[in-house]
Amino acid sequence: MRSLRGTLTVWYTVALAAAVLAFGLTITVLQRRAAVLAQEERLAALAGRVSGVLAQRAIDGHGPLVDLSFAPRIRQLRIDVIDQLSLIPGLVLVLDTTGSGVYGSPEVQRLTVAGTDLLRNRVASSRLDQQRFAITLDRTDYEFVAQRAPARTPSILAVAVGEPAIEAGASFERLGTSILLVLPLILLCAALLGYILSSRALRPVSQMIDELEAITDGRSLHRRLLAGALQAEELARLSKALNALLARLETSFDAMRRFVADASHELKTPLMVMRAGVERTLTDPKTSPEALLPLEETLVGVRHMTELVDALLTLARVDEGRMELHREPVNLGDLLAETFETAQILGEEAGVDVTLELPGGPVVVDADGGRIRQLVMNLVTNAVKYTPAGGKVWMTLTGTPQAATISVRDTGIGIAPGDVARVFDRFWRADPARSRTGERPGIGLGLAISKWIAEAHGGSIAVTSRPQRGTTFTVTLPRQVAEPGLPAGAASAVIES
């Protein structure tokens, strides 16, 4: 699952990379446009310079600009004019009124005849005082500025000055090269900066999550999130909303706990009176035989209700934090041996074989013996209840210097994979086929109490199960009291019913 921090980092990096590309493209386009404008201005200035030279030489009194003394049909400017025009860079072309080229710079002279004729015709066709045009000469693109000749030079038609055109492809190629060289560093810096910024931005959210995760049960609902420490308005609103929700939950949980505790306490006395009355009536010789069966069924119901009330009262005290443990060194081997006697009776009634496996030495823990006995009895009762006749139940105790492990395994009907995670929920019951209501009904609170007992001792309880193959409950308790001399892998004593 992707984290919000990672998502923000990726988007920040992508956005920055796109911004860099857009910025580079914009700069390249603007630079090229500026270069084109600068070239046009430069060519216009050079064309004006050529016109200025021609105008100046036309009035210096040295004769006509076009010198016809070289050879018949050869028209060209005077030598002194050519000398001055040769100082002007680029492709320079001067046409007389007959359309003949009377001057061509060395760059023009290097063109082919076809290229020269194409250029001359293009300049001769210009009708504006100044015109910019692009032309391809000998497979090379050029930019030219052509001007009408000054009025002082009646023998001259037009002048033109050109340069190779600025190549757009070269600009974009340079941009691509620059981006390829710089982009990895930019992306690395962007990812690092994005991660740092997102971490700082989400730090209040992480603190809120930590505080919410610390509210693990109904006893932690009094805690509140610190809204004042949050800078962002949205997070402050979220914190206030969560605090209001926690307040409502705390009120509801307190009301529920008070109701359960009060109801359980108030029901204990009437149930005891009913149980005593039913038992007294059952033992009264005057009771008719026809009334015995209904009385026995009533007694079973009263015992079931008493068990339920006791469990509810226990959980209510647990929720209120008023349930205390009376810790003392307890030998789990002796405790399981005592519990095994009751388990044998349950097993005989259900036709289930119960086996106890103990290590060769004592396994002592600092615990409340009564609560641990209650935990083991809950597990054994469930194991016998959900194991068909002819099945087996194993009670096993193992010990290490760090922990003691109690395991209750059966060959019963098992638990569906989707239900394993819910077996410790209060009042949760699996499929009705597992309840065997007519034989030994349950109340759905035994495993919840067992989980509390294990965790209250600093231990844990786990379950593994396979449908129709059996279930194993494993309780791990820390060893508070160490017994030197318990060898690893000591021989076990096995007791079978």
Q: List pLDDT tens digits, range 199-248.
A: 777 777 777 777 777 776 666 677 777 765 545 677 777 888 888 888 88
Least confident of 82-91, 143-152, 160-169, 373-382: 160-169
pLDDT for 404: 94
What is the pLDDT confidence band of residue 494, given thresholds at 50, 70 and 90? Answer: very low
The torsion angles phi and psi of 458, rounded to 5 degrees, stand at 80, 15
DSSP three-state, residue 332: helix
pLDDT over 70 (residue 432): no
Report the C-alpha gap between 347 and 194 in whole angstroms: 65
The first and second tokens of residue 195, run together, are 């991660």
Tens digits of per-residue pLDDT, 136-187? Answer: 888 888 999 998 888 778 888 889 999 898 765 566 666 667 777 777 887 7
H-helix or E-strand spanning residue 256 = helix 233-283
Least confident of 1-15, 157-171, 306-320: 306-320
Least confident of 8-12, 252-256, 493-497: 493-497
Residue 92 burial (10 A CB sphere; 0-12, 13-18, 19+): buried
Report the C-alpha gap between 475 and 367 in whole angstroms: 13
pLDDT over 80 (residue 86): yes
State the first-to-last Cα distance of the chain, in angstroms, to the nearest integer: 52
Tens digits of per-residue pLDDT, 456-493? Answer: 889 999 999 988 889 999 999 998 544 444 433 343 44
Mean pLDDT of 300-317: 70
Map 213-251 to HEC letters.
Answer: HHCCCHHHCCCCCCCCCCCCHHHHHHHHHHHHHHHHHHH
> For tokens 């005593």, what's the residue?
276
Mean pLDDT of 43-68: 80
pLDDT for 128: 60
Separation in Å, CA 18 to CA 179, 186, 190 = 11, 11, 11
Are 395 and 356 spatial neighbours (Cβ–Cβ below 8 Å)?
A: yes
What is the pLDDT confidence band of residue 403, given thresholds at 50, 70 and 90? Answer: very high
pLDDT over 70 (residue 395): yes
Least confident of 241-255, 316-330, 449-463: 316-330
Q: Where are the beta strands (DSSP E) in 368-482?
A: 392-399, 403-410, 460-466, 470-478
Report the C-alpha gap between 78 and 135 in whole angstroms: 29
Highest mean predicted confidence (pLDDT) among 100-104, 258-262, 442-446? 100-104
Strand partners, 358: 493
DSSP three-state, residue 68: coil
Report the C-alpha gap between 164 and 172 in whole angstroms: 18
pLDDT for 205: 77
Mean pLDDT of 9-18: 81
The residue that leads in pLDDT, 72 or 49, is: 49
Report the C-alpha gap between 455 and 378 in whole angstroms: 15
Are 393 and 349 spatial neighbours (Cβ–Cβ below 8 Å)?
A: no
Are 352 and 482 spatial neighbours (Cβ–Cβ below 8 Å)?
A: no
Report the C-alpha gap between 159 and 85 in whole angstroms: 11
Percent of the chain having pLDDT more than 70?
79
Q: Where are the beta strands (DSSP E) in 298-352?
A: 328-331
Sign of CA pseudo-dihedral 473, 478, 480, 485: positive
Max CA distance (Å), the chain: 164
Mean per-residue pLDDT of the chain: 79
Helix%, strand%, coil% for the chain, nearest 5: 55, 20, 30
pLDDT for 437: 41
In this structure, the number of other CB atoms found within 10 A of the CB of residue 288 comes to: 6
pLDDT for 194: 79
Report the C-alpha gap between 140 and 83 in whole angstroms: 27
> For tokens 């949050």, what's the residue?
230
The first and second tokens of residue 477, run together, are 């308790």
The number of helices, as runs of H, and strands, as runs of E, in the chain is 10, 15
pLDDT for 297: 79
pLDDT for 168: 56
